[in-house]
Chains A and B, each alone.
Chain A
Amino acid sequence: MSGQPIAVGGATSATLGQVKRRSVREREQKGQWWRFALILVITAIVIVPIFVVFLLSVQPGQGSTQTGFTFENFERVFTGTDVLLWLGNSLLVAVVTVVVAVAIAAPAGYVLSRLRNRLVSGYSLVLFIVQALPVVTAAIPLFITFSVLGLINTLPGVAIVYIGSTMSVAIWMMAAYFDSIPISLEEAAWMDGASVFGGFRRIVLRNSLPGILSTAIFSFLLAWNDYLIALLFLQDSTKYTLPIGLNTFFQQNAADWGSVMAVAVVMMLPPVLLFVFLNRYFSVGGIGGSLAGR
């Protein structure tokens, strides 16, 4: 159907797969150093706002006896605030979102990838429209419904909303990855008597780790970074996830930048570590790569 020549499959076509360290030996081109200087300057400017977060978090605060490099901000926020609790809440919500979203999106993506009929392409269109809907449209009705159901101010409540908002893109991403797995593999399994479910589980899923990881990372980041739903749904500070915890802490301690940035480091470390170790599976924009591929 797609006919687009894609190296690794849709879901990962916009990933960092091609990132390779290039050898520093290539001096033959003169323009290279001019470009090197240009990109060095641009990169330096671009990462200033990220660099200052780390910098301020390890600098002593006002009235501190310490000078230079210090971890006192971290000690203070770990002992004096709920930041570890927020970290736990965020991890719990994000992990639940990832597990449920992938478990539901993978089989649905398989249907989208292998069946080509009116019903399926209609479903695909609906999914695509859904990912374009503004979150507030859903947030207000869900807020009322969840109040009735007693899900306001609970972590399962926000996890459910995240699963709903990641679902459409997750299905698209899984489908785009399955497109890259030749159907002949399943046909061989069917010839050997495997059922459709068996072929999906033993052949397709087993070969889809990169696609699953991409989808999982996308869902994780959506749950990890969300601010609006957490702001509306979580009211007790013991229930906060990190985005809302950090923002509340920032508004209450605007002068104490060291502590604020220490909390900020705690919040950005998991995504940055994921990115450093699994950057091959980062699909920038989720649906972007899938769309380019399908």
Chain B
Amino acid sequence: MSTDTLPERLQKARRGVAPGGRGPQPRSKRPSSPLGRAGLTLTLFALPSLILLVLLNVFPVVYSLLQSLQNGTPSTLPTDAPFVGLQNYVDVLTSDQFRASAIFTLIFTITGVFGSWAIGLGLALLLRTRIPGGGVFKVLLLLPWIVPVVVSATSWNWLVATPQSPIPTILGNFGLGDANFLGDPVLAQVVVCVFKVWISFPFMMMMMSSALASVDTNVYEAAKMDGATGWQAFTGVTLPIISRTTYISWVLMTIFCVNDFPTIFLLTQGGPVGATSSLIVLAYQFAFQNLQTGPATAIAFLMTAVLVIISTVLYQQIKKVNIE
């Protein structure tokens, strides 16, 4: 829209039309997509997030990389801490504590990922069929994921913490003896893993439900006509269709499990005798209980490296699938 006054417009017209004029004024810019020309606006759109990302995520990572090469405490500045090179990494990687912790992290992650996936997929398949009150069940089954972990850990403590707690008492009545769930190293590991599966299966259930929603039920009719058994239909039809979501949810759950601090710490604080210290709990203990940020950040960095590799591979994989 031109806001020029009439005389100005007449003058312009005259300039354009009259001999020696510069021709008509260029038409007002009206490209099909102004996105390409709005570089400044779009930069301003992304800038606040970029600044926050650099200050709160990138800077700490670089900072802790530096700390992992030093012997500091949580209250010393990096300029005051003695530089020790890769010594922290050598110490950490050769310690029995790290090895035990890495093995427990692996167990915790594998049970967490596949345990919750199997249960979540089973329930998603079950809920897909017609069940009276199915919607109500679906809501109730999601509660473990919704309830704050501090609350559920408190409740699990009540259920299992001492030999007098309800679950050990019930099991005792079945003749299983006085199990001290959180006092025995192996039992504590089992409890922590079961707790993690309990928290995580709703995530898997939702992911799998949304993947299954895209499966056309006619496919099953066709498979049945061809004489496929239920199991064959499951492995031959269902699994391939939900494979992409399954893959994404496995990798995400791996990240969630490896990074999970409160689930373990609130239940056992990493004990007894370090049996349930996953790597992240170990890093916390080094940093804030032993006040040694060197080994703590070295452990955190080793974890970070593994997780960055996992997520980069996942990302590329997803992009590839999207393009196909």
What is the interface of chain A, defined by CB distance below 8 A to chain B? 1-5, 13-16, 18-24, 26, 29, 31-32, 35-36, 38-40, 42-43, 46-50, 52-53, 56, 104-105, 107-108, 110-111, 114-115, 121, 123, 125-145, 147-148, 160-161, 163-165, 167-168, 171, 187, 190-191, 193, 195-197, 200, 221, 224-225, 227-228, 232, 242-243, 246-247, 250, 257, 260-261, 264, 267-268, 271-272, 275-276, 279, 282, 284-285, 287-289, 291-292, 294
Given A39-B131, A264-B151: A132 touches B143 (CB 8 Å cut-off)? no
Instruction: Let me know if B137 and A43 touch, CB within 8 A.
Output: yes
- Give Cα A57 to B185, complex, Å: 31
- Chain B residues 1 to 33 lying within 8 A of chain A, measured CB to CB, are 1, 30, 32-33
List B contacts of A168 (CB < 8 A).
Answer: 53, 57
Seed contacts A38-B126, A140-B64, A190-B34; 15 additional CB < 8 Å A-B pairs: A14-B210, A24-B133, A39-B134, A42-B141, A140-B74, A144-B74, A160-B56, A164-B53, A227-B262, A232-B288, A242-B148, A243-B150, A288-B206, A292-B207, A292-B245
**Given A137-B61, A142-B56, A227-B149: A196 touches B1 (CB 8 Å cut-off):** no
Least CB distance, A214 to chain B, in whole angstroms: 13
Q: Enumerate chain B interface residues (CB-CB to A < 8 A).
A: 1, 30, 32-35, 38, 41-42, 44-46, 48-50, 52-53, 55-61, 63-64, 67, 74-77, 123, 126-127, 129-152, 154-159, 198, 202-203, 206-207, 209-211, 213-214, 244-245, 248-249, 252, 255-256, 258-259, 261-262, 265-266, 280, 283-284, 287-288, 293, 296-297, 300-301, 303-304, 307-308, 310-312, 315, 318-319, 322
**In the complex, how many angstroms separate the beta carbon of A93 from the nearest chain B beta carbon?**
14
Q: How far is B280's CA from A125's CA once the two chains are assembled, in angstroms?
A: 24
Chain B at the A interface: mostly helix, strand, loop or mixed? Answer: helix
Tell me the smallest distance from the CB of B174 to a CB of chain A, in Å: 16
| Known contacts A53-B155, A125-B315, A225-B148; A140/B55 CB under 8 A | no
Contact between chains at A284 and B142 (CB < 8 Å): yes
Write out the residue numbers on chain B whose beta carbons fall within 8 Å of the beta carbon of A52: 155, 158-159
Once the chains are docked, how many angstroms separate the CA of A22 from the CA of B45? 44
User: A224 contacts B148, CB within 8 Å?
Assistant: yes
B141-A291 in contact (CB<8A): no
Tell whether, in the assembled complex, residue B258 and residue A134 are in contact, meaning their CB atoms are under 8 Å apart. Answer: yes
Known: A125-B315, A227-B266, A264-B155. Is A115-B35 also a contact (CB below 8 A)?
yes
Q: Would you call B56 and A163 a contact (CB within 8 A)? A: yes
The residue that B301 contacts in the complex, of A132, A137, A195, A272, with Cβ under 8 A, is: A137
Contact B202 A284 (CB under 8 A): yes
CB nearest neighbor in A for B59 = A141
> What is the CA–CA distance of A218 and B199 in the complex, to the nearest angstrom?
16
| B296 adjacent to A268 (CB under 8 Å) | no
> What is the CA–CA distance of A1 and B322 in the complex, to the nearest angstrom?
7
Q: Which residues of A contact B129 (CB under 8 A)?
A: 31-32, 35
Distance, CA A268 to CA B145, complexed state (A): 11
Q: Which residues in A have their C-beta under 8 angstroms from that of B144?
A: 46-47, 49-50
**Cβ B139 vs Cβ A134 within 8 A:** no
Cα-based distance from A22 to B30 in the complex (angstroms): 52
4 A-B pairs with the lowest CB-CB distances in the bound complex, closest first? A164-B56, A107-B45, A141-B63, A108-B49
Closest residue of chain B to A293 (Cβ to Cβ) is B210
**Known interface pairs A50-B147, A140-B74, A190-B34. Does A16 touch B203 (Cβ–Cβ under 8 Å)?**
no
Contact A21-B133, Cβ < 8 Å, known A195-B34, A267-B150:
yes
Structural contact, A264 and B154, CB atoms closer than 8 A: yes
A291–B318 contact, CB under 8 A? yes
A-B contact pairs, 5 of them (CB 8 A): A22-B135, A36-B131, A39-B123, A228-B261, A250-B157
Residues of A within 8 A of B318 (CB): 291, 294
Docked complex Cα distance between A39 and B119 (Å) = 12
Cβ-defined contact, B49 with A105, below 8 A: yes
Closest residue of chain B to A112, judged by CB?
B46
What's the Cα separation between A276 and B170 when bound, in Å?
Answer: 33
Bound-complex Cα distance A115 to B43 (A) = 11
Chain B residue nearest to A225 (CB atoms) is B148
B42 touches A196 (CB 8 A): yes
Chain A residues with CB under 8 Å of B38's CB are 195-196
| Residues of B contacting A195 in the complex (Cβ-Cβ under 8 angstroms) | 34, 38, 41
